[in-house]
Amino acid sequence: MGNAWFETIAEAQRRAERRLPRSVYLAILSGSERGLTLEDNIAAFGELGFAPHIADLAGKRQMNTVVMGQEISLPVLLSPTGVQAVHPDGEVAVARAAAARGTAIGLSSMASKPIEEVVAANPQTLFQLYWSGSRDRIVKRLERAKVAGAVGLIVTLDWSFSHARDWGSPFIPDHLDLKTMLRFAPEVLRRPRWLAHWARTGSPPELTVPNMVSGDEPAPTFFQAYGEWMQTPPPSWDDLRWLRHRWDGPFMLKGVMRVDDARRAVDIGATAISVSNHGGNNLDGTPASVRALAAIVDTVGDSVEVLLDGGIRRGSDVVKAVALGARAVMIGRAYLWGLAANGQPGVENVLDILSSGIDSALLGLGRESVSELERADVLIPPGFTRCLGMPAE
């Protein structure tokens, strides 16, 4: 077996593609329609540049910050994702890796592991909620998360029902019965290491989402929960204000891309917002989230913590986002590829890559801390910024 360590997140992605069954890999890759937003999330960072110094550079650099009341060692949080078939240890491995590197994890409502196990692995766990089902059912999920020890709430609003992909969508089963396993056998047998990991557990992936229920209710399958969400009318701002009042801790709205929505988020009492297009899985043609970041920071940055989610592939991307005004960034695919490549150590590897890249960028820019970064540290080409939802002058 070769060296499990990888040098870049791009290499983690290549290893994940080689290791995972094709359907599982494509489910992580995701995107929607033509993939315009998916591509722009990454390309936009390449349009931003640096002007490095050569002397009087800081001998030591600090990366720690505070997000949603949590002290973290670097301005990177692990975004909530569902990892049902990536690795048997799932979100527990991700939580342990984040704890080992001193940062927080967002746990998805659609996660494969119960919140109680994840909080035990990392007390800095933020619970992610979809507006799904009745208010009573939503409150029960909140109460369970609070009792389990979740330190904050992330409300995800940047996922529409647009899921057709020009390159084709993977087949994702509702559950793995004998017929389904026979259907998947050809692609699974071509990935013996992935198969061996699951064989050691004695069972295939369950594809259930235990955090969508409370008490002794049986966990629904992913598609049962997805169906409930699709059939639930989207929330109004009054619904979100009600939800904010039901949660007495740090409260993030994830999916803000417009200045007017950012103002409304502040009005209802959000303590944080994530500038995000759900990694290109929302309405295709939406600009890269980093293009919308500066205008939102300029509008509400003094009133709410602003985070950036989408397109982070290296530490210099983190530095660019923070220089544009983000308190921190959130990563998704990057750590899923690390998890697929090497389990918990693979996620730690991804965080180490980002940490090293942040440190190098701070050194080149002559900054001692991420708190010193400012917009002048980044070369922003004309026409880069998108001011969505800005009143016409």
Chain-centre distance for alpha carbon 132: 19
298: closest CA among 218, 359, 210, 387?
A: 387
What distance in Å separates the CA atoms of residue 243 and residue 228, rounded to the nearest whole number?
18
- Selection from 327, 212, 329 nearest residue 271 by Cα: 327
Task: Answer yes or no: are the C-beta atoms of 72 and 103 closer than 8 Å.
Answer: yes
Please tell me the distance from the alpha carbon of residue 9 to that of residue 16, in angstroms, as a whole number: 10
The CB density around residue 174, as the number of other CB atoms within 10 Å, is: 14
One-letter amino acid at 217 equals E
β-pair partners for 106: 126
Options 53, 163, 197, 278, the catalytic residue: 278
For this structure, is 245 an active site residue? no
Yes or no: say if 387 and 295 are a contact pair by the CB < 8 Å rule.
yes
Q: How far apart are CA 21 and CA 205, in angstroms?
A: 13
Q: Taking phi first (over 0 means left), then psi (-120 to 50 degrees means alpha), and beta for anything else, what does residue 351 get? A: alpha
- What sign results for the dihedral spanned by CA atoms 149, 151, 157, 158? negative
Runs of H (alpha helix) within 202-283:
222-230, 237-246, 259-267
Query: Is residue 10 packed enough to be buried (19+ CB in 10 Å), middle (13-18) or exposed (0-12)?
Result: middle
Q: At what angle do helices 22-29 and 178-189 cross, to 10 degrees?
A: 90
Residue pointed to by tokens 């409304």: 264
What is the DSSP secondary-structure string of 31-92?
--BT-HHHHHHHHHHHH-EE----SS--SS-B--EEETTEEESSSEEE-----TTT-TTHHH
Residue numbers annotated as active site: 278
